[in-house]
Amino acid sequence: MRPTKLIDPRRWPSPVVFVVALIGVFLLSGVVVSLAIQLMGSREAFAAAKQAALPWLFLWRWACYAALILAWLKLWKPRVLARLCEDRDGGEAARERLKRLENLTLVVMVGIELFNVLDWLGGRS
């Protein structure tokens, strides 16, 4: 195995890319929260500011979800469906899996936001 294969992320298997990206997001989130706590002086001040900003963060997340859904429906999904037509079976099986994946994605998004709303309303999750 050549060392350039290990260095180039485009050649990594998908699960490795996912794990590396997930670890990167967690580390970046930790750094951002740590800086925010440092700037606000205490964890209590950060928690109070976060609680005050929850309605706006809720709207921001839904705006981001709407933008992603529109981009998927208008830009990316037509390309994916066109590519699926090149399959041996005309993409029938892949279209079914894609529909199931879309539905599961919506269920996950709604579930995440349900827990966020419960937290916003004062419940313990």
Cα(91)–Cα(81) distance, integer angstroms = 8
Q: Given its phi and psi angles, is residue 124 left (phi above 0), alpha (psi -120 to 50 degrees) or beta?
A: beta
Contact of 58 with 117, CB cutoff 8 Å = yes
pLDDT tens for residues 72-92?
999 999 999 999 888 888 888
The pLDDT assigned to 91 comes to 85
Residue 91 DSSP one-character state: T
Mean per-residue pLDDT for 91-115?
A: 93
The pLDDT assigned to 1 comes to 54
Reported as a pLDDT band with limits 50, 70 and 90, residue 3 is low
Task: Judge whether residue 27 has pLDDT over 70.
Answer: yes
Report helix, strand or coil for 8.
coil
pLDDT tens for residues 52-67?
998 898 899 999 999 9
Task: Judge whether residue 30 has pLDDT over 80.
Answer: yes
How many CA atoms does the CB half-sphere of 37 hold within 13 Å? 10
Residue 4: CB atoms within 10 Å: 8
Reported as a pLDDT band with limits 50, 70 and 90, residue 123 is low
The pLDDT assigned to 125 comes to 46
Counting residues of the chain whose pLDDT is more than 90, the rounded percentage is 61
Cα(114)–Cα(125) distance, integer angstroms = 10
